[in-house]
Amino acid sequence: MVRPTIAMVGSNMMDLITYYEDNLPRIGETIFGKDFEIGFGGKGANQAVAASRLGAEVEVVTAVGDDLFGPLVIENFRKYDINTDFIKTVEGRSSGVAPIFVDQGGRNSIFIIPGANSHLEAEDVTKARNSLSRASFLLLQLEIQLETVYFSIDLARELGLKVILNPAPGRKLEWEKIRNLFLLVPNETELETITGVTVRTTEDIKKGISLLMERGVENVLVTLGEKGALLATGGGFADFPAYRVEAVDTTGAGDAFLGALATFLGEGKTLEESIDGACAYAALSTTRRGTQKSFAGREEFEEWYFQKKAGKGR
Ligand code: RIB
């Protein structure tokens, strides 16, 4: 199997995760939470770490603040064998943080305060040009400035990398700039934000997808949480049911999915095989608490996937 190189230009955050039982506090109210954890997160970093856990070589371009979290974040990338040469430290800024609230069903609500991530510029991406050119896929999200995202899309095109854009958190995008993307991976609300189509039914999802494809996006994959995912290519639509698991924390599952997807595609698997594997990898991550720390290594994943397939445990 080819060991793929995956590139990621995007965010990193410190996740401050509160687990709670019944409700979030109302304004002016103080209530007891159940548990608390600090972990490494950020959609970009999570996707990079998932790819690395599955065996990809990973190049990242990201930014941290000159606070106590910055060096920890850099060390964390090193721990996963990820090249840290293109991590910028922004003076006078805090690192990105994400207060996260997880309910009893494992569902999350997330605030992001991007801090240094908002200072990742096109010139930081240009500095990494040579390293990026070694990759086959580029992972992008929307937790950094849109100008940097658009610049990275253009650079990827020039360098011959296929771009996978996860438009999260949902933001309005300039159609012109996202033309010719290899794959756009929104969830339902993000699809609604990008296209302006109100999404309630599968027909609405298909309408949103068609709009994107008419504007030049090559393939669209809408993630549907526990309902799986819907893929649209030039050849039509395909459904991917989710793997059934006992979820305790869904934080970062979407990122696990994207890191895995890029890795499997980079290994030369088909889009369909890669999506199925990524659905399984994401499902496995929800059975544990935390973000990056819930991502399995390759061997453990293969064993779990094999058993799930054998037992048809979807
Ligand atoms: O997708 C999950 C991630 O979103 C968290 O790690 C948090 O940092 C936010 O970026």
d(CA 283, CA 277): 10
Q: Identify the pLDDT of residue 225.
A: 87
Element (H, E) at 258: helix 253-266
Nearest to 148 by CA among 223, 98, 88, 92: 88
Position 314 scores a pLDDT of 58
Cα dihedral 271→197→216→5 (10° resolution) = -40
Among 134, 135, 141, which Cα is nearest to 45's? 141
Per-residue confidence (pLDDT) for residue 313, from 0 to 100? 55
Residue type, 125: V
Residue 142 CA, ligand 1 centroid: distance in Å: 11
Q: What is the CA(254)–ligand 1 centre distance, in A?
A: 9
- Report CA(252)–ligand 1 centroid distance (Å): 6
| CB 49 within 8 Å of CB 263 | no
286 alpha carbon – ligand 1 mean position (Å): 14
Mean pLDDT by 10 residues, the chain (314 residues): 95 97 94 96 98 98 98 98 97 97 92 98 98 98 98 97 97 90 96 95 96 94 93 95 93 97 98 97 96 97 94 61
Ligand 1 touching residue 112 (CB < 6 A): yes
Pick the CATH number of 5-309 from 3.40.1190.20, 2.60.40.1180, 2.40.110.10, 3.40.50.620: 3.40.1190.20
Ligand 1 atom 6, closest CA: 41
CA-closest candidate to residue 111, choices 126, 98, 94, 130: 98
Question: Is the CB of 98 inside a 6 Å radius of any atom of ligand 1?
Answer: yes
Give me the pLDDT at residue 192, please. Answer: 96
Whether the CB of 135 sits within 6 Å of ligand 1: no
- Report CA-CA distances (Å) from 122 to 61, 85, 147, 193, 255: 10, 16, 7, 25, 23
Nearest CA to ligand 1 atom 7: 42
195 lines ligand 1 (CB under 6 A): no
Q: Which one of 15, 73, 113, 292 would you pick to mutate in the ligand 1 pocket, going by the greatest count of ligand atoms within 8 A of its CB? A: 15
Q: How far is the CA of 95 from the centre of ligand 1 (A)?
A: 14
Q: Cβ(259) to ligand 1 under 6 A? A: no
Whose CA is closest to 81, among 97, 57, 104?
A: 57
Annotated catalytic sites, by residue? 255
Quote the pLDDT of residue 312. 54
Question: Which residue has its alpha carbon closest to ligand 1 atom 10?
Answer: 42
Confidence at residue 259, expressed as pLDDT on a 0 to 100 scale: 98
